[in-house]
Structure 1
Amino acid sequence: MIPERQSVPVLDVDVTPVRVNELMDALGGLIAGGTTATVLGHNLHSITLFHSRDDVRALYREASIILPDGAPVAILWGLSHRPQRIGAEAMAYRLGSMDWIPELGRVPGLQRVAIVGAGRQANTTAVARLRSIIPAAAVEGMPGEGWDASLEEAVVQWLIAFRPQLVLLGLGMPLQENVLHRRLNDLPPSVYCTVGGAVEQVAGVQKLAPRWLGRLGLEWAWRLALHPGRVAYRVFVEPWKLAALLLRRHLRPSLTEGK
């Protein structure tokens, strides 16, 4: 059974607050259902995209599960729904991809898994690691580096032939969301999980921040130190863009009433 979505104040989005064991059970339920489902995550970057891009917003509105993947999201959710135990209680519901991918062996009925994304070597290594995590499942992969229309079509046809029950789609934001939004009706029934750079993290190519940093909400500092060129915009500029989007969103009704 999938828990109901709950609102995140200020950010104007919804999330599905679950712990890891609850997520594994929910994935098992979705797989048993045999229909198409999507599992997404919300952090400040995805929320900026949600409020600025129609394709991202449409995908999130139809998602089966939206994990709080970011400390600000978890904390603001906790302020509204867990006010008595805001600290550890709220952060326990913050689930990044690497908080739950290593636990996929606990998903009941999981027999076929596809990993899409990263370069060939990283994808191959991630497939090998996931096979050790889920020894009873068939795990196959397709690299996503150099994504274009021809590779996209090849991946779609490969997924149709393989018919996985669970797909880890690691193409980065917003490409992975755009692909799902456009091609979901062309894809075979499965549970599609957007995981960003986690394919490289599973493979060990991208160094994972210590989990205690994540629990403190400081994972961004680790990423900034390792990849300043890639992360600086998200840390120092994008929050202001999001603030402007939210301010305009909240002012719009007032502006309309004043006309």
Structure 2
Amino acid sequence: MAQPTLTQTTPDRRAAVRRPYRRQRRPEERVRLLGEAVDLVRPEEVLHHVQAAVAEGRKTLIANHNLHSLHLIQTQAEMRAFYDRADLVQVDSTPLIWFLRALGLPGRGFHRSTYLDWRDHFWSVADRRGWRVMSIGGAPAVGPEAARRLAERYPGAEIRTRHGFFDARPGSADNADILADIRAFSPHILFVGMGMPRQESWIATVFDDLPACVVFSVGAAFDYEAGVQKSAPRWMGRVGLEWAYRLLHDPRRLFHRYCVEPWSLAPLALRELTAAFARRRQAD
């Protein structure tokens, strides 16, 4: 099977080719949510942009926002740097979709988009097109098991993994080794699943040193593929209860994230709701 190629971009071309999606975005597609930019795209639209980026040899960063990231970006410069680089920002939270609608913005349930929403479509495309997919993250045994399981279903995709237990500091020997491995493999897709905000911080730091590829921050994606973690039924995501499923299964780690952090966003949410209400009154 002929494999698509990703053309390496030189520094003088990078600015010209980095963000074509931003130039093509429909005016109603990018909106502001709790002070941050998000894109109202369906999962299939995300895959459309991924395929276009691979075909054109563009380095592209696809991010996602949820309540946890919106909390972290308020105080962490690395998170701000990551989202400033992102070409596409998915909405990874049904409650955020509800909030968009409360603001009078055109968010709908089908705009919720994250790895678990498009994984099957993604891997079927990777299989047909012979994509090279590299995943960084998880415990040492997770990546190989996930790759084995995926290869059984999608033999046309070439999968390489590296665990996430390495010294990610700039200039470290581990970091240099990881980057050399990525360049040697030359992936079409790079998944980084080291947990938020570590994965975002690392991507922001090394982005300019990566070869041309589509980069995703994917959290526990390969833990799900390896069977280490069980994902919530997709209907729970659609009705806004996935967080409850995850909290029930890992309360010690997730209680603060789901039950405490969102309150830090309450003043900002109130300001946006008040402004939206005022606009509606003026329109009437």
| TM-score above 0.5 | yes
Residue pairs, 1:8-157, within 5 angstroms: 8-9=32-33, 11-79=34-102, 80-82=104-106, 90-104=108-122, 105-106=124-125, 109=129, 111-149=131-169, 150-157=173-180
* 2:157 partner amino acid: A
Question: Cα gap change, 1:236/1:53 in structure 2, threshold over 3 Å: closer, same or farther?
Answer: same
Equivalent AA in structure 2 for residue 93 of structure 1: H
Identify the range of structure 1 (39-48 vs 108-117) with the bigger mean alpha-carbon deviation: 108-117
1:136 positional shift: 1.8
Q: Secondary structure at the match of 1:217?
A: coil
Q: CA deviation at 1:19?
A: 1.6
Q: Work out which of the residue numbers 12, 16, 30 in structure 2 matches 1:6.
A: 30
Match of 2:8 in 1: none
Q: Which of 166, 173, 183 is the matching residue for 2:206?
A: 183
- The answer as to whether partners of 1:110 and 1:165 remain within 8 angstroms in 2 is no
SS in 2 for 1:184: helix
Q: Structure 2 vs 1, CA of residues 74 and 110 (structure 1 numbering), >3 Å: closer, same or farther?
A: farther
Report deviation, 1:110: 5.2
> 1:254 — aligned with what?
none
Report the counterpart of residue 232 of structure 1 in structure 2.
255
Measured in 2, the distance between the counterparts of 1:66 and 1:132 equals 31
Asked if structure 2 preserves the Cα contact closer than 8 Å seen for 1:102 and 1:133, the reply is no
Shift of 1:127: 1.4
Separation (CA, whole Å) in 2 of partners of 1:145 and 1:63? 25
| SS at 2:164 equivalent | coil
Cα gap change, 1:248 to 1:70, in 2 (>3 Å) = same
Task: Give unmatched runs, 5+ long, in structure 1.
Answer: 251-259
TM-score (norm 2): 0.78
Range with bigger deviation, 176-185 or 106-115: 106-115
The SS at the match of 2:111 is: coil
Partner SS for 2:200: helix
Question: How far did residue 148 of structure 1 move?
Answer: 4.1
Greater CA deviation, 195-204 or 215-224? Answer: 195-204
Q: CA deviation digits over 1:160-185, x for unaligned, max 9?
A: 11010101110110001100111111
CA distance in 2, matches of 1:74, 1:147: 37
- RMSD, aligned α-carbons: 2.4
Distance 1:74 1:40, change over 3 A: same
The residue that corresponds to 2:265 in the other structure is 242
Do 1:117 and 1:145's aligned partners in 2 also have CA atoms closer than 8 Å? yes
1:158 and 2:181 aligned: yes
Deviation readout 1:122-159 (Å, 9 max, x if unpaired): 11122123334543221111111355444332211110
After TM superposition, give the deviation of residue 66 of structure 1 in Å.
0.6
Distance 1:78 1:147 in 2: 42
Cα distance in 2 for partners of 1:246, 1:185 equals 34
Cα pair distance change 1:132/1:76, threshold 3 Å: farther
How many residue pairs match? The answer is: 243
Distance in 1 between residues matched to 2:66 and 2:196, nearest whole Å = 11
What pairs with 1:180-219 in structure 2 (closer than 5 Å)? Answer: 180-219=203-242
**Overall identity of the aligned pairs, in %:** 32
Q: Distance in 1 between matches of 2:31 and 2:182?
A: 34
Q: Extract structure 1 runs of 4+ deviating beyond 6 A.
A: 245-250
Is the Cα–Cα contact under 8 Å of residues 52 and 245 in structure 1 kept in the other structure? no
Q: 1:133 to 1:206 in 2, by over 3 A?
A: same
Q: Which moved more, 1:15-24 or 1:132-141?
A: 132-141
